[in-house]
Chains A and B, each alone.
Chain A
């Protein structure tokens, strides 16, 4: 049988790999291998065959007759060679065409370059993380500085501003988010109203639902819910977009054309979010209050009309301005964090995923931190004392 079975017509049947033990005429131990020793046949039975071969190769004087093998490839050759203890047996008979598969095995032996053990790995890792964090902070500061410079430039030449990009971004982050913020806001309003109604009923303080919901939603929940939704929705999109632009070298293309990407890409996003967020906050709070009013009507029998007319007395108007101020700050924060992480994406897919996750987590955290700062700083503002 020749080695080149694919070239023959009609092709002989390809047999499964087989090992036959025996003794030659001179009484020597012989192992005879036949059939196909290629990946297709070995895939299913590599492990038992290897064990069998290893057992056989324990006899160092054994003759190996590989000439009846019909098909051989590197997988088969490597399997045999490993079973022999990573060397060729002294007595080996090969079909002429099969020599090539064993020829470069000896050099292939040897492990992959090992990563040396680093006893200071933990300390080094901690240090690297700290440096990484400080790098993030300086990067963020630099980005803010660059944007401030760009904004001054924009104020000096307002006609050259990226107005079209800003309006497109407002549409994308604002208008297209109306649906989801309305849905979530409405449901939160309903849930809150139901929960508080239960408690208030117990004290006979039904009328206070207006104060509770009005203050809670307008001052705190509306801005935070809108910010969380926008961070998940637009923050991730901004990071991914900038990240892909880094991967596809679009950012570099902008740079070499002398178009600063902070002006064309980042500033419009920050301005757009700073414009759209307060409006979204108003919208979310409004819908949440409607949800709350409907639930209060069902649960406590307070009509929607009296709920809404009670609101101005319960919630001073300054709270609405405070909420809108929060919206501006949250929007700018989300855009800033998203852009920062987007610009830091390395040109590979994994980094894109990590960058997007980090962006969303960081922007939501930043929003909550900013919100608590607001709560402390404005603790005396806009409170209705009964």
Chain B
């Protein structure tokens, strides 16, 4: 099986400051991988490098088996149509209505008529549980949770195989963030997506991830399941997962798992 993302020997350096030292990461199809790490550990930088928004100092990033560095612009353009990105603040175009935001990538293809685009937009709005009456609204009139959902609909409109989520639940209240996690999980099951996310939210992390990539000391100190990650004795892991907050999230997850197995 061909990996979807392959990061090999990646170095990132800002002047004297080294962010990543010889970092390797492989994501297989259908996985949900979470990038975690303290602030300044380079999670977002890594994601931006995988997205081709920033250039690593050294090393290669391959997405769908195609190297981002040194490929032709058309090749990279093709990759970009196959992934969807949910930015932290949603990054909806504030000059466009909700409807036009979602329709934009489809219109850009110039392959489908307006009737088709209309139905597709409605389908995606249904998919993320946004009522149709919001379609004509402008992003400035929406709440943070709705902006995230609509941004997700926009990210999914071109039927991507790979989805990047930057802090998907940051800024949402616990209730909303739980329903957002559910939404992502159900979409992952339905559409067979590969998901890469950056998150600080332990609940999201525990309930969604298949694999956790812990960034610390300029490299991945662990890359594996939650159990494997917790087993590693590292100060960051100890404080992040096994601190009071972490234990609470983990025990909640355990309780949930027990409940599931009993029913």
Contact = CB atoms under 8 A, between A and B. Distances in A.
Do A and B belong to a common assembly?
yes
Contact of A78 (B95, B123, B132, B138): B123
A6 B82 CA distance: 14
Contact of A47 (B30, B111, B159): B111
B94 interface: yes
A82 B118 contact: no
A109 B94 CA distance: 27
B66 interface: no
Nearest to B139: A348
A42 to B, nearest CB: 7
A4 B124 CA distance: 22
B116 A112 contact: no
A330 to B, nearest CB: 33
A39 B158 contact: yes
A79 interface: yes
B123 A350 contact: no
A112 B121 contact: yes
B262 interface: no
A346 B136 contact: no
B122 A110 contact: yes
Contacts of B113: 47
B227 interface: no
A279 B8 CA distance: 61
A347 B140 contact: yes
A6 B109 CA distance: 24
B233 interface: no
A112 B139 CA distance: 17
A39 B120 CA distance: 12
B226 interface: no
Interface in A30-44: 38-40, 42-44
Interface in A53-103: 73-75, 78-79, 82, 100
A74 B133 CA distance: 22
Interface in B81-139: 81-82, 93-95, 99, 109, 111-113, 115-116, 118-124, 126-127, 132-133, 135-136, 138-139
A79 B30 CA distance: 26
Contacts of A105: 119, 123
A105 B127 CA distance: 11
Given A79-B116, A104-B123, A348 B132 contact: no
A78 B159 contact: no
B85 to A, nearest CB: 17
A347 B142 CA distance: 12
Contact of A107 (B1, B118, B120, B126): B126
A113 interface: yes
A7 B109 contact: no
Contacts of B140: 346-348
B115 A82 contact: yes
A4 B190 CA distance: 12
B122 A108 contact: yes
Contacts of A40: 81-82
Contacts of A42: 111
Interface of A: 4, 6-7, 9, 38-40, 42-44, 46-47, 73-75, 78-79, 82, 100, 104-105, 107-113, 115, 346-350
19 contacts: A39-B159, A44-B111, A74-B124, A74-B159, A75-B120, A75-B159, A82-B115, A100-B190, A104-B127, A107-B126, A108-B122, A108-B126, A112-B118, A113-B132, A348-B94, A348-B139, A349-B94, A350-B94, A350-B95
Contacts, number: 81
A108 B123 contact: yes
B135 A112 contact: yes
Contacts of B119: 78, 82, 105, 108-109
Contacts of B192: 4, 6
B29 interface: yes
Contacts of B93: 349
Interface in B40-81: 81
A79 B113 CA distance: 10
Nearest to A71: B159
Interface string B193-207: 000000000000000
Nearest to B124: A74
A113 B126 contact: no
A73 B135 CA distance: 23
Specify which of B122, B161, B191 lies most central, judged by the most chain A CB atoms within 10 Å of its CB: B122
A75 B157 CA distance: 9
A82 B112 CA distance: 12
Interface in B1-47: 1, 29-30
A115 B136 CA distance: 9
A109 to B, nearest CB: 7
Contact of A7 (B30, B118, B123, B158): B30
A6 B127 CA distance: 23
A240 to B, nearest CB: 16
A113 B133 contact: yes
B29 A7 contact: yes
Given A7-B29, A75-B159, 18 more contacts: A9-B1, A39-B158, A46-B111, A46-B112, A47-B113, A74-B123, A74-B159, A75-B120, A78-B119, A78-B120, A78-B123, A82-B119, A105-B123, A112-B99, A112-B122, A112-B132, A113-B133, A348-B95
Contacts of B133: 113
